[in-house]
Structure 1
Amino acid sequence: MKFITTFSWKADAQIRNEAIARFQKTGGLPPKGVTLLGRWTRADFNGGFDLVETDDPQALAEFALMWSDLMELNTYPVLEDQALAAVLQRMVK
Structure 2
Amino acid sequence: MKFMMTFHWVPDTEQRAEAIERFLRTGGVPPQGVQLLGRWTSADLGSGFDLLETDDAAKLTEFAYQWSDLMELEIMPVLEDAELAAVFGRVAKK
TM-score normalised by length of structure 1: 0.97
- Which 4+ stretches in 1 moved above 4 angstroms? none
Q: Deviations over 1:32-89 (max 9, x none)?
A: 1100000000111101000000000000000000000001000000000000000001
Q: Deviations over 1:6-53 (max 9, x none)?
A: 001122110011000000000000001100000000111101000000
Segments of structure 1 that go 5 or more residues without pairing to the other structure are none
Segments of structure 2 that go 5 or more residues without pairing to the other structure are none
Alignment RMSD: 0.8
Q: What secondary structure, in the 3-state scheme, does the structure 1 residue paired with 2:16 have?
A: helix
- The sequence identity of aligned pairs, in percent, is 62
Counterpart of 1:2?
Answer: 2
Segment of structure 1 superposing worse, 72-81 or 10-19: 10-19
Matches for 1:35-74 after TM superposition, within 5 Å = 35-74=35-74
Counterparts of 2:23 and 2:84 in 1: how far apart (Å)? 34
Aligned residue pairs, count: 93
Counterparts of 2:91 and 2:61 in 1: how far apart (Å)? 32
TM-score normalised by length of structure 2: 0.96
